[in-house]
Amino acid sequence: MDDQPVSPVDENPWDALRRFTNARIALGRAGSSLPTAPLLAFNLSHAQARDAVHQPLDTAALHDALRAAGFDTLDAQSAAPDRDHYLRRPDLGRTLCDASAASIAALAADTSEPPELVFVVADGLSAYAATRHAVPFLTALRAKLGGWSIGPVVVATQARVALGDGIGELLRARIVVVLIGERPGLSSPDSLGIYLTYEPRIGRSDAERNCISNVRPEGLGYEAAAFKLHYLLNEARRLKLTGVGLKDHSDALIASPAQTGGAIESG
């Protein structure tokens, strides 16, 4: 007789497909519930997503990493005084606090030639994303930006996407690019979103900017994202616009079919 215990888990016939995706498929079943292992994994992912939302951005470490990579940096903070206000009052996250607005305006006044391009690295809804991906992505992109005048990288806290409009307007930049932590998912607590806006100014709508989403090694890799952003930047400069009027056709220029895990959107 076979003395091996019978597993209480009913296996899912799709189990062989799980290696192709991080999605929660083919988890099996134990009675009317999930097996213990996938249930614990779900609880861990949920905790990581919550932590990503509340974890503060280590701005000192990010400044050090950016400067070590050869970028000039400066600080900015939104009008949201803390994380609680940031989560409850999205409007405050779209506006610079008075001190940041004054310091950026003073820097712009001392700059004779405004930059074509300004990057803003923002915590958004996942400081993990900004911490892990901003520097390697910018390093991959910088190699493609010959001929562009680039301003300092602004490290922004308690920030929403539209905060970049006020920053870009004060610095008189032609284009602002906001690298921001996206809303965490249960399989991606560190996804980075990239938003670009031509002629940024307060009051720009989401329809006037483009977005590249899911930038991370498990999604859209740094090189692929840098290629796409470089294409959009050149097109924005040529057409003098971003948003719904700027379409992405960069996939037709990619020699290899790799790295299709991200998404490109307008608006």
- pLDDT single digits (tens) 180-239: 999 987 778 899 999 999 999 999 999 999 999 999 998 999 999 999 999 999 999 999
The DSSP bridge partners found for residue 193 are: 180
User: Helices marked H in 15-142 — which ranges?
Assistant: 36-54, 59-68, 83-88, 98-109, 127-142
pLDDT in tens, 146-186: 999 999 999 999 999 999 999 999 999 999 999 999 998 77
pLDDT in tens, 8-54: 666 666 777 777 777 777 777 787 788 888 888 878 877 877 877 88
Query: Strands of 73-77's sheet, edge to edge?
Result: 73-77, 153-157, 117-122, 175-181, 192-198, 209-215, 263-266
What pLDDT is stored for residue 74 in this prediction?
Answer: 96
Report the alpha-carbon distance of residue 5 to residue 182 in Å, rounded. 45
Mean pLDDT of 114-135: 96
Give the H or E element holding residue 229: helix 222-239
Residue 211, marked binder: yes
What pLDDT is stored for residue 92 in this prediction?
Answer: 97
Q: Look up residue 223 and give its two tokens.
A: 């090189």
Phi, then psi, of 80 in degrees rounded to 5:
-80, 115
Residue 177, marked binder: no
Correct CATH for 53-245+252-266 of 3.40.50.620, 3.40.50.11240, 3.30.70.20, 3.30.9.10: 3.40.50.11240
Residue 97, marked binder: no
Domain borders along the chain are 53-245+252-266
Report the alpha-carbon distance of residue 107 to residue 98 in Å, rounded. 14
